[in-house]
Amino acid sequence: MRRYNAFKAVFENDAHVAFWFAGMQNGVSMDATGMVSSLTKAEKASLLAGASHWKTNSLESHGVSAVVFSDGPHGLRKQDNGADHLGIHKSNPATCFPTASALACSFNEALIEEVGAAIGEEARDQKVDVVLGPGVNMKRSPLCGRNFEYFSEDPYLSGALGTAMVRGIQSRGVGACVKHLAGNNQEHARMVGDSVIDERALREIYLAPFERVVREAKPWAVMTGYNRLNGTYCSQYPWLLRDVLRGEWGFDGAVVSDWGAMSQSVASVAAGLDVCMPGPRADHIQAIDDAVSSGGLSSDALDEAAFHVLDLERKARRGRKTPFECDYALHGEIAYRAACESAVLLENDGILPLGRAEKVAVIGSFALLPRYQGAGSSKIDPVHLDDPWSAFLDAGADVGYARGYDAASGDSSEELLKEATVLAAQSDVAVVFAGLPDRFESEGFDRKLMVMPKGHVELIERVCAANPRTVVVLQGGSPMEMPWRSRPAAILLMYLSGCRGGHAAVDILFGRVNPSGKLAETWPVRLQDTALGRSFPDTDREVLYRESIYVGYRYFDAAGIEPAYPFGFGRSYTSFSYSDPAVSFVGGGMEASCTVTNTGACEGAEAVQLYIESHGRATFGELRRLVAFSKVRLAPGESARVCMHIDEQAFRFWDSREHRWRIDEGRYGVLFCASSRDVHLTCDVVLDAGEGASPFFVETMRPCASERAALAPYYEVVPGGFSDAAFVTLFGEALPPRRPVKPFTPDSPVSDLGATFLGRQAFRIVDFLMARQAKRMSDDMKAMMDEIAADMPLRSFTSAGIPFGVVEGLVDVLNGHWVSGIARVVRPGL
């Protein structure tokens, strides 16, 4: 045993060969380990790039099959005819579940695991091996165009729900690929931007969800983000991929680039990237082969990457043999339950639930053409799709309909408004469906403002004036300003509720379902109230995360700003009381419990949220943080004991001076809450630094007076108080250098080409590439693609089938090297 442990230590201390030891510990990996030694250098290199848009390369002579990927954060997007990663081409019909922004409001890990299992079953049915999801990036600002695809502004909630989704998907013999590691928090210039994040915020906020998912769910794959992180592209950052992901967290799966994210072939493989997608990328394969031959890349790095790809293929092969059943009708019912549990009742003066005999004015195009999913790579062609209007008819309701606004643009007219107000005045109650049209939020670009379309706002105000008994049902993927929110009698938030969101909304309105969703993000009164305000998206390529750990409710609490609706908020048709709190040390952690009683007249579910606050700390920090939650369903008058486990992560913070996690001694409050601002019960616990005094390793506090003075804006947070100067001090080292426009490189964005005459002519190439796709696009999508194209790096042309050699030739020409450039364009292999 002593020799075994010594052997283990030697291997684990070498990042390039540690995978061999992992291969000795399970049969699948052992098979892959043996296979690596039987392959030639060229064969190993061929495994490191995709064969097509969705498949890896196979080695038929060795019995190695292609691994098939597909998008799928909230449903499968398998493409058999035509391929893209922006939702342009059609995909095979699949169940469209509520997006992550909606699912997170369920605060129900079991439900999300069930959704993941259903996605896994459809992946098996459509012969997909790895689902590209979930996304666990943080919601740094409500303006991020891709927020609908992410769970929360809170790292604990995102990590817990991401873990549940991965477990569900992988329970069906399909791999999950958690994304996008890391700091991928805005869409503007996402492929060339540099997320500059201080060490503590990076660890506590942006890496924490990935850490939890990797440690607890063991995903088959992790996808790197497009962006740079503190100066280095994520796909070629050894600290991120080797030191943290594999070394600290113990990840043993495959690291896959986002589609078109890889910058430099040799640097990426050396850093720990295993698969460059999409393919074909003969240039990448050749570059790796040549680098190993010349000594520019170690053979160990090549072997390690090849091992991870072979291991992924072996998992996929074994998964294909796992028995499964795929029932799309049953999945539709799961989608319905998920939509019901994810709906958040924001306001209700008692008008809801509606009476069966009431005449209802159904107003708004979203009632017929619902906004039920996001745009971009997650866009699904649903196998079935309902709408609120049909659900009203199915319920036998006495209803009338008025369009109210144009579904695509959100614009209204006096004629449409008059029709709506007349119908509302003639009805017992009006239900207005409104929110954010597709063109307001999508992958690839960020929102400029937090507003709804003017036509939607005017419609709500006019209908409320015509009939005070008005209910507003909101559809959209992100928070929106609601200057009208005091006017309706009720507001029901559905987010993007998937293919069965129509019936879910109507069943909630009529009381067949009691809403139990809680907000997984803060809804501000106005954009200026957020930590970033109108400075998001950052138009500089170097994006400074000046706010550090103060994201979402952490900022609102620290700055003393009242939100429209706080994190964790949601109403019900019943009421709940909390009593008898208790906290005890159990094993290696703590257990917190309280009694919850349904004190109302109907059955309902309550998501109990547990927060920790420090009564004294050595450094700056949030007022409180979410550390656990549990959802309980109760009949009227019923009580239940709710128990939640607390581990050391609840108390730890990252010590940037010593570059490690630590827990300080002292008194901590354990808060039993209905939201981040609604504290029902409190218990205090004391963590003592004495040996054996607590289940965690606790250390003596060491306040630093000089740090407090230098970082005053982070100790005493005021609105708008995060300056560049304060952030530089917090960052603790020189900021990454700004990237000059010239000389041009394959990483130069298309927008930089305007700096030279030749570059302006090169725009014609972009126009040509876009023209082939534009024929399939709506006007809104064309406008979106124009914005996306401006931020694309030149190397991304490879995703459109242009050889990388042509890109290199174009770069040479732009830099004035005409002869070599034209030669490379004509003969890309030179």
Tally of helices (H runs) and strands (E runs) in the chain? 26, 24
What HEC string does 344-369 produce? EEEEECCCCCCCCCCEEEEECHHHCC
What is the dihedral angle through the alpha carbons of 121, 126, 131, 133, rounded to the nearest 10 degrees? Answer: -80
- The C-alpha atoms of residue 609 and residue 671 are separated, in whole angstroms, by 8
Residue 241, C-beta contacts closer than 8 angstroms, at least 6 positions apart: 224, 255, 271, 272, 273
Q: Which pair of structure tokens corresponds to residue 522?
A: 């803060």
Residue length of the chain: 830
Q: Which residue has the tokens 């050894």?
A: 238
> Do residues 492 and 509 lie in contact, with contact meaning Cβ atoms separated by under 8 Å?
yes
Q: How many CB atoms lie within 10 A of CB 271?
A: 22
User: Is there a contact between 122 and 94 (Cβ–Cβ < 8 Å)?
Assistant: yes
The Cα 362–Cα 482 span in angstroms is 20
Nearest Cα residue to 257 out of 313, 180, 188:
180
Q: Hey, what's the torsion of the CAs at 330, 335, 341, 345, to 10 degrees?
A: -140
**635/5 Cα distance (integer angstroms):** 55
Q: HSE of 698 in the Cβ direction (CA atoms, 13 Å)?
A: 23
Alpha carbon distance 526, 183 (integer Å): 25
Q: Is-contact 181 134, C-beta < 8 A?
A: no
Q: Which two tokens stand for residue 788?
A: 């996306």
Tell me how far apart the alpha carbons of residues 168 and 20 are, in angstroms, rounded to a whole number.
29
Q: Which residue has the tokens 């696009």?
A: 777
What is the amino acid identity at position 187? E
Amino acid at 623: L
Report how far residue 310's alpha carbon sits from residue 305's, in angstroms, rounded to the nearest whole number. 9
The Cα 73–Cα 103 span in angstroms is 11
Q: Are 412 and 458 contacting, i.e. CB atoms less than 8 angstroms apart?
A: yes
Give the alpha-carbon dihedral of 150, 249, 238, 170, to 10 degrees.
Answer: -50
Rounded Cα distance, 348 and 364, in Å? 20
Instruction: Answer for the pair 809, 824: CB distance below 8 angstroms, yes or no.
Output: yes
Rounded CA-CA distance 339/495 in Å is 9
Is residue 84 flagged as an active site residue?
Answer: no
The DSSP line for 5-64 is HHHHHHHHT-TTTHHHHHHTSSHHHHHHHHHHHHS-HHHHHHTTBBSSSSBB--BGGGTB
- Could you give the CA distance from residue 276 to residue 290 in angstroms, rounded to a whole number? 17
Centre a 10 Å sphere on the Cβ of residue 778 and count the other Cβ atoms it contains. 11
What is the rounded CA–CA span in Å between residue 737 and residue 674? 45
From edge to edge, which strands make up the β-sheet containing 398-402? 344-348, 490-495, 470-475, 429-435, 359-363, 398-402
**Distance between start and end Cα atoms, the chain:** 54
Helix (H) or strand (E) holding 807: helix 804-814
**Which residue out of 252, 258, 274, 303 is catalytically annotated?**
258
Catalytic annotation, residues: 258
